[in-house]
Amino acid sequence: MAEVFELPEQGVPDFYAGTVFHRYAGKTQPARAAEIDALTERARRAAKRVNVTVGVAVGAVAVVPPTEDMRTKILDVLRENLLKQFGARRQAKKNNATGAFPYAPAFDVFRALPPTDYRSPNEFREQVEEYLRDFDAAMQQSFVQVVGTTGTPLRLKLTNPGEENLFKVEVVLSLPDTVLAHVTDDEEDVDWPDEPKEYGSAALPVSLSAFPGMAALQAPAFRLPPIDSPDIEHEEGRTIIRFAPVDLRPHETVSLDPITLYSTQEAADSFVGEWRATATNVSGAVRQRLPVPAQYLEVDLHQALLPLLNDDIEA
């Protein structure tokens, strides 16, 4: 059964003075001063809306040639060179077995001993593929560094035009997924992997744990404390960049961390993104479009992917 509510007559207030009640454990009682203050603060926060602006201080999306074909050729050459060791080792065994040593048949027992390398051929191939994956990641890291130094990383400026302090203002930038993003770090070294030991030369590794008391001599694990930096994700066809939250005083402008952006897709003038900002001490969110200029770069792919040029690699 529906209830019918009559509208108040003209001149009759919509609300009447009353008592604020608060639900405590197992009972409802008139609220104490602390609960009323908390409710008032929540209402005050709800009445205030976040008010910030975000713009491009400097930077662009670098438009670069694709690297996949070049990387694939380099990895194929590396794989071929590493797996040649199987043929060289078989030939060496054959030469030793058919040498001029007159008493070779008497030493068959030595040739029957396990090889000096503890890795099976399949295990060695797995090591090679793992090495190539790490090498590919290092090439991409090297390429991003070249793009960052040759081009201009994006740096956004965040402004609080209002009269209120804003706490933990978080800016999230959304770009098309054709734009790739990486945190700009000029001091970061490229993590080039170590090449697998030549097949036939890796002796059986001995763990320190095999010797009583030796495990305590190992260096303790050490990790650097986490550093606040932009978080980059890919979701639903978009590249999402979440910048570290910052506090803003009234009329203050700050620069956000630089981001290296690049794309292999051509653009007329710019790539259109969207930013969204929130703060913890006020409600609501601001959302606006943000065109990021396109910057065409000429990049030497071979030098960018292999800055430490290896004469054995011709791609």
The predicted model scores a pTM of 0.68
pLDDT value of residue 153 = 96
Residues in the chain: 315
- Where b means 16+ CB within 10 Å and e means fewer, 179-202 reads bbbbbbeeeeeeebeeebeebbeb
pLDDT value of residue 7 = 54
Please state the φ and ψ torsions of residue 295, each to the nearest 5 degrees: -130, 115
- How far apart CA 53 and CA 159 sit, in angstroms, is 5
CATH number belonging to the domain at 51-195+228-305, selected among 2.60.40.10, 3.40.30.10, 3.60.150.10, 3.40.50.2000: 2.60.40.10
Q: Which residue ranges make up each domain of the chain? A: 51-195+228-305
Q: How would you write the pLDDT of the chain (315 residues) with one tens digit per residue?
A: 444 445 556 555 555 556 777 777 778 778 778 877 777 777 666 657 889 999 999 999 999 999 999 999 999 999 999 988 776 555 445 554 445 445 445 445 444 444 566 778 888 899 999 999 999 999 999 999 999 999 999 999 999 999 999 999 999 999 999 999 999 887 778 889 999 888 776 655 544 444 444 444 444 433 343 446 799 999 888 999 999 999 999 999 999 999 999 999 988 899 999 999 999 988 889 999 999 999 999 999 988 998 865 544 555
pLDDT value of residue 11 = 58
Q: Which residues pair with 56 in a beta bridge?
A: 156
- C-beta separation of 45 from 143 below 8 A: no
- How far apart CA 309 and CA 214 sit, in angstroms, is 41
Q: How far, CA to CA in Å, does 152 sit from each of 159, 266, 293?
A: 22, 17, 10
- C-beta separation of 65 from 303 below 8 A: no
- C-beta separation of 188 from 88 below 8 A: no
- How far apart CA 238 and CA 300 sit, in angstroms, is 28
The stretches of 104-150 forming alpha helices (DSSP H) are 108-111, 121-150
- C-beta separation of 249 from 160 below 8 A: yes
What's the 3-state SS for 5-63? CCCCCCCCCCCCCCCCEEEECCEEEECCHHHHHHHHHHHHHHHCECCCEEEEEECCEEE
pLDDT value of residue 140 = 92
pLDDT value of residue 115 = 52
pLDDT value of residue 207 = 47
Helix-then-strand count for the chain, H and E? 5, 14
pLDDT value of residue 136 = 94
Cβ neighbors of 4 (< 8 A, separation 6 or more) are: none
